[in-house]
Amino acid sequence: MWSTFVVQDEEARSTAISGRGTEALSGMIAVRTGGGGKRRTRAPTASLSEHQGGKIKLALFVAAVGITLTVLGVGTEFWVELASSKNFYNNETCLSAHYGLWKSCMKRLWVADVDPERETCGPIDLPGESNCTYFKIYTTGENTVLFHKMPAKNLTVISAMLAILSLFLMGTGAVCIVMALSKGEQFFLKPASVCFTLSGLLVFLSLIVFRQSVLSFLESDHTIPLHHELSWSVACMGCAGILLIIAGVLFLFLALPYSIWEKCLPKREH
């Protein structure tokens, strides 16, 4: 009988020890997993709300219009239109020309089609014989001659390079906005703002340099008097520069951790 009691006592002790061990093990597992058998997860990063995403898309639309106008302006050759006197060559035809960053076109118009009250040949959209050539300054280094005048080669190249650099910055800014929308990170808005603002400033700088090249072109020879006027490609570039700077400012406002509107006009407590 005594031996039976000893055996039962040893079994109770072993059962209690094993129970305590199980409780301790389960407690350790609960501590490692964050309690209740659930894993600890990292706090989710702050993502863009639907309202913020709509504002970013609206600003991106403004930038996209600016990019489209820049591509249209850079790719066309209607930056400046040149026109000689209507009766300078003969009484039947007259010459006009237009050129951009890459190409120039000479056009022979009929004097009968020109407005009698107009003293110069044009406008350029009248029907006539046109001859267009690409600038050789980018290939062989040769300059182009129009009306016995030569455009300033260095200024034309600088204007073209500024336009290309602005397009590169626009592409970089667009990539940043796509990353911000896809990843939900507000951080990408700041570099996008810098890229679009700088691209707009470079567009205006390109226009200034091109205008200086046109003035240098007109002063290179005075034997043929010419009337000049900036055309619609320059207008596209000017509008594009304004839109790009506006888009850059909008992205900067959206990148701020607080609302500019609420900061400037705080709500009044009644």
CATH code for the domain of 189: 1.20.140.150
Nearest to 162 by CA among 216, 209, 229: 209
In a shared domain, residues 152 and 196:
yes
Give per-residue burial for 138-166: e unless 16+ CB within 10 Å, then b.
eeeeeebebbebebbbebbbbbbebbebb
Q: What is the pLDDT of residue 91?
A: 75
Q: What is the pLDDT of residue 264?
A: 52
Give the chain's domain count: 2
Q: Are 244 and 238 a contacting pair, CB within 8 Å?
A: no
Q: Among 7-16, 128-137, 202-211, 245-254, where is mean pLDDT lowest?
A: 7-16
In a shared domain, residues 36 and 128:
no
d(CA 115, CA 125) in angstroms, rounded, equals: 13
Q: Nearest 5°: CA angle at 202, between 166 and 104?
A: 75
In a shared domain, residues 77 and 199:
yes
In a shared domain, residues 28 and 76:
no
Structural domain harbouring 256: 50-264
Q: What is the pLDDT of residue 20?
A: 52
Report residue 232's pLDDT band, with 50, 70 and 90 as the boundaries: very high
Structural domain contains residue 198:
yes
In a shared domain, residues 231 and 108:
yes
pLDDT of residue 270 exceeding 80, the answer is no
In a shared domain, residues 133 and 199:
yes
**Upstream peptide bond of 116 is cis (omega within 30 degrees of 0):** no
Q: Among 162-166, 177-181, 208-212, where is mean pLDDT lowest?
A: 177-181
Structural domain contains residue 107:
yes
What global pTM score does this model have? 0.76
In a shared domain, residues 240 and 197:
yes
Q: What is the pLDDT of residue 102?
A: 92
